[in-house]
Amino acid sequence: MSQQIKTVGEGINRVDGILKVTGAATYATDYPVKNLAYAVLFKSTIAAGEITGMDTGEAEKAPGVLAVITHKNAPKLNVNGGLRGGALLQGPAVQFYGQHIGMVVAETFEQARYASRLVKVSYKEGSAKVDFPKLKEEAVTPHDRDKADAIRGDVETAFSNAEYKIDAVYETPVEHHNPMEPHSSIAVWEGEKLTLYNGSQIINGAQQSAASTLNLKPENVRIVSPHIGGGFGSKGGQWANLALAAVAAKAVDRPVKLALTRQQMFTSVGLRQRNHQHIRLAATKEGKLTALAHETTTFCAINGEFVEPCGDCSKLMYDVPNSKISYKVVPMNFIIPTYTRGPGKSTGSYALEAAMDELAYKLGMDPIQFRLKNEPARDPSSGKPWSSRATVQCLEAGAKAFGWEKRKPEPGQNRQGNYLVGYGVACGTYPSRQQASSAIVKLARTGKEVSATIELAASDLGTGTHTILAQTAADALGIPVSKIDVKIGDSSLPPAAGSVGSVGAASFSNAVADVCNKAIDELTAQSGKQFITRPTAADLMIAGNVPSYQTRADAHAPDEARNYSSHAFNANFAEVWVNASTGMVRVNRFLAVTGAGKILNPKTARSQIIGGNIWGIGMALTEESIVDTRYGNFVTRSFADYHIPANLDIGTLDTIFIQEEDTIVNKLGVKGIGEVAIVGVAAAVANAIFNATGKRVRDLPITPDKLL
């Protein structure tokens, strides 16, 4: 009998690491397609109105130009096909600054870009809604039923009667996803069949949306996306550029590459909208919460509604008998907002956890003890029991590892030279779910060597999907990781969930475990033998002289999971140094303690956590998309002015994972960590800044001008 393999839980190197460091990994525009032409989009320069004239003559005569496509000659597309943001060249109406209004297709990218600047456009300009502070009073109740008021008890009475309370507004700005790899596609037609090489977080979702928009059968559209250079939600739902690449390729009857520029990304693929969050929080003098109201006002697009669920954490983080979660939204002339890492939870946790810190200070309580005192035994929003909840363990383990006892409760008391030093803490949560996914395993034997190929239409954002699936398969089959080949990122493979909402790892790994265990069970039954210990795939194929074998499994969440509330939880600890003269803030140390079920690979998991932490630090200190309200465009549209943290901005980052055994959420007990990694981070930094300086800044980012 072969020795069983155990690699799940080990921090092995990425199986696709060599491909990436040598440049051999294929991203959307890396495929060596023959006879390739290039498309470049050109965009509106008004935020509202309509196109009254478009002179494309000079562009059409430019060297190398193959076609100029506008609303006047674009094919009829299904605008309700599932692609987000409109901008499909279906008419003269303009609904936001930077809307796609046409594209040039040419022999080279440079020729297409040059010609796109030769198109002359005239407009009838309308009245644009682009100034959120002036328009937020016009906000109305969203159509989305999930955003209806959620009320428990009597908030108004409890709040008015409370001795200790906080009533404050917390603002978070517009942010953009800005993945390292901008959105891009190569479209290749073969008759009526279309292949799209494209970065897609949801492979089958991209297939369905592209097919529906282009009026094709889904089986005639293939999405190929084995590697993705980041997405953070922007590549979850697909956008107009995907279909327009196919339109361009059909128009010139040859393959076409369409890649957005960094500047175009700011008005092409959604954003995190600005959120005005009114928090009212009340407690007894002993520190027991009595009331919580979290009222969010935000904006959506003129042509579509999306409301970030900022109140989600407030629904369930703390035991409070009287609560109200509500939303208001105002339609504005911007591209539709969309899911952005930790949607709602990252922004909402900033408001909630900053308010908790404020109230703890007013009570004279340690902020950790205040949170522990209000730990709920069950999910307050539903009454369901937790499948597991690690908040207490996260706070206690983090406090010990971070040295929380060194924190001085009164602000401004810890000084190192010209620097004010402060400690902050904040908690976070994100739902844990498994979604339906299917997988095929193909086993092959050569002599006594057995290898396996795993196939499913999963995606890898750079999170390590290839690696954790190879580990899962290796353990279930009992063969080394080096003998596992993982094929994902192709809609022709068995359908799978997407890498969104922290469902990817749980959904993919459970499907792979199920199919590999099924193969072992079927081969065991086929052998007609009994084994004292569970045999490996090699044992069975060698003993039965089986040259090859394959099977498929369709995995779903356990039925009992719906009876529980399942979430990942964390506690974040920040040490900041604030220059007393300049107001510059540096996060010197940051510790994230996370309870997220079984950690399949601590090395890739740590990478996910610190990535989310860095974004959360950027959210707290630097990231902000600023609108020029005269025109409705973003004046921040490159990394020169949209500031994300660089290496020198980040101090020491540490991670701790709490051991959790939770087989209620799914068989393997995997919860997902990509989203929760950013939740609570900005609040921890903001709370540390208050502890350092005594100044409470309630609108992000916290820049030096707000501290001086």
Q: Hey, what's the torsion of the CAs at 348, 350, 352, 358, to 10 degrees? A: -160
The reply to whether 87 falls in a domain is: yes
- 300 and 400 in a single domain? The answer is yes
The reply to whether 57 falls in a domain is: yes
| Structure tokens belonging to residue 670 | 């995997």
What's the rounded mean pLDDT across residues 44-51? 98
Q: In sequence order, which residues have a C-beta less than 8 Å from that of residue 391 and are 6 or more positions away?
A: 317, 371, 375, 427, 429, 569, 571, 595
Counting Cα atoms < 13 Å in the Cβ hemisphere of 195 gives: 14
- 418 and 444 in a single domain? The answer is no
342: left (phi over 0), alpha (psi -120 to 50) or beta: left
> Among candidates 473, 482, 537, which has minimal Cα distance to 1?
537
- 426 and 453 in a single domain? The answer is no
Q: How distant, in Å, are the alpha carbons of 155, 282, 345, 375 from that of 291?
A: 6, 5, 20, 15
Count up the domains in the chain and report the number.
Answer: 3
Stated as kind and residue range, the H or E segment containing 184 is strand 184-190
DSSP string computed for 288-314: -EEEEEEEEEEEEETTB-----TTHHH
Question: What is the tally of helices (H) and strands (E) in the chain?
Answer: 18, 27
- 332 and 444 in a single domain? The answer is no
Q: How distant, in Å, are the alpha carbons of 323, 366, 368 from that of 149?
A: 10, 32, 29
| CA–CA dist 674, 614 (Å, integer) | 13
Looking at residue 530, its pLDDT comes to 87
| CA–CA dist 625, 637 (Å, integer) | 8
Stated as kind and residue range, the H or E segment containing 189 is strand 184-190
For residue 610, pLDDT over 90 is answered with: yes
Last residue of a domain, one of 501, 533, 556: 556
- 568 and 514 in a single domain? The answer is no
What's the rounded mean pLDDT across residues 684-695? 98
pLDDT digits (tens, 9 = 90+) for 231-267: 999 999 999 999 999 999 999 999 999 999 999 999 9
| Structure tokens belonging to residue 495 | 């359908």
| CA–CA dist 566, 432 (Å, integer) | 5
- 91 and 214 in a single domain? The answer is yes
Q: In sequence order, which residues have a C-beta less than 8 Å from that of residue 87 and are 6 or more positions away?
A: 99, 100, 239, 240, 268, 335
Looking at residue 3, its pLDDT comes to 60
- 191 and 256 in a single domain? The answer is yes
| CA–CA dist 655, 589 (Å, integer) | 11
The reply to whether 151 falls in a domain is: no
The reply to whether 661 falls in a domain is: yes
Last residue of a domain, one of 509, 530, 556: 556
Boundaries of domain holding 670? 275-433+562-707
The reply to whether 157 falls in a domain is: no
- Segments of 7-113 assigned E as strands: 37-43, 49-55, 65-70, 93-94, 100-106
- 346 and 483 in a single domain? The answer is no
Looking at residue 657, its pLDDT comes to 98
Residue % of the chain over a pLDDT of 70: 100
The reply to whether 5 falls in a domain is: no
| Structure tokens belonging to residue 593 | 């303690």
- 608 and 544 in a single domain? The answer is no
Looking at residue 250, its pLDDT comes to 98
Q: Which of 353, 455, 623, 675 is catalytic?
A: 675
The reply to whether 142 falls in a domain is: no
Q: How distant, in Å, are the alpha carbons of 230, 236, 462, 657 from that of 272?
A: 16, 14, 21, 29
pLDDT digits (tens, 9 = 90+) for 356-410: 999 999 999 999 999 999 999 999 999 999 999 999 999 999 999 999 999 999 9
| CA–CA dist 71, 100 (Å, integer) | 10
Identify the band that residue 5 occupies on the pLDDT scale cut at 50, 70 and 90.
confident
Look at strands 256-259 and 37-43 and give their pairing.
parallel
What's the rounded mean pLDDT across residues 144-172? 97
Looking at residue 2, its pLDDT comes to 61
More confident residue, 642 or 532: 642
| CA–CA dist 273, 332 (Å, integer) | 11
DSSP string computed for 210-224: HHHHTT--GGGEEEE
- 627 and 609 in a single domain? The answer is yes
The reply to whether 580 falls in a domain is: yes
| CA–CA dist 525, 546 (Å, integer) | 13
Q: Indicate which CATH number applies to the domain containing 241.
A: 3.30.365.10
pLDDT digits (tens, 9 = 90+) for 15-40: 999 999 999 999 999 999 999 999 99
pLDDT digits (tens, 9 = 90+) for 54-75: 999 999 999 999 999 999 999 9
Sign of the torsion angle spanned by Cα atoms 13, 14, 15, 17: negative
- 98 and 78 in a single domain? The answer is yes
Q: Active site includes 192?
A: no
pTM of the model: 0.97
- Segments of 355-448 assigned E as strands: 386-388, 415-416, 419-431, 437-446
Identify the band that residue 569 occupies on the pLDDT scale cut at 50, 70 and 90.
very high
> Among candidates 6, 319, 307, which has minimal Cα distance to 142?
307
pLDDT digits (tens, 9 = 90+) for 173-226: 999 999 999 999 999 999 999 999 999 999 999 999 999 999 999 999 999 999
> Among candidates 515, 673, 698, 679, which has minimal Cα distance to 596?
673
Check: CB of residue 264 under 8 Å from CB of residue 98. Answer: yes
- 388 and 440 in a single domain? The answer is no
DSSP string computed for 115-172: HHTT-EEEEEE------HHHHGGG-B--S-GGGS-EEES-HHHHHHH-SEEEEEEEEE
Q: What is the pLDDT of the chain when averaged over all its residues? A: 97
| CA–CA dist 619, 616 (Å, integer) | 5
- Report DSSP state, residue 524: H
Identify the band that residue 274 occupies on the pLDDT scale cut at 50, 70 and 90.
very high
> Among candidates 664, 676, 663, which has minimal Cα distance to 385?
664
Identify the band that residue 524 occupies on the pLDDT scale cut at 50, 70 and 90.
very high
Q: How many CB atoms lie within 10 A of CB 665?
A: 29
Last residue of a domain, one of 522, 556, 590: 556
DSSP string computed for 23-46: T-S--TT-S--TT-EEEEEEE-SS
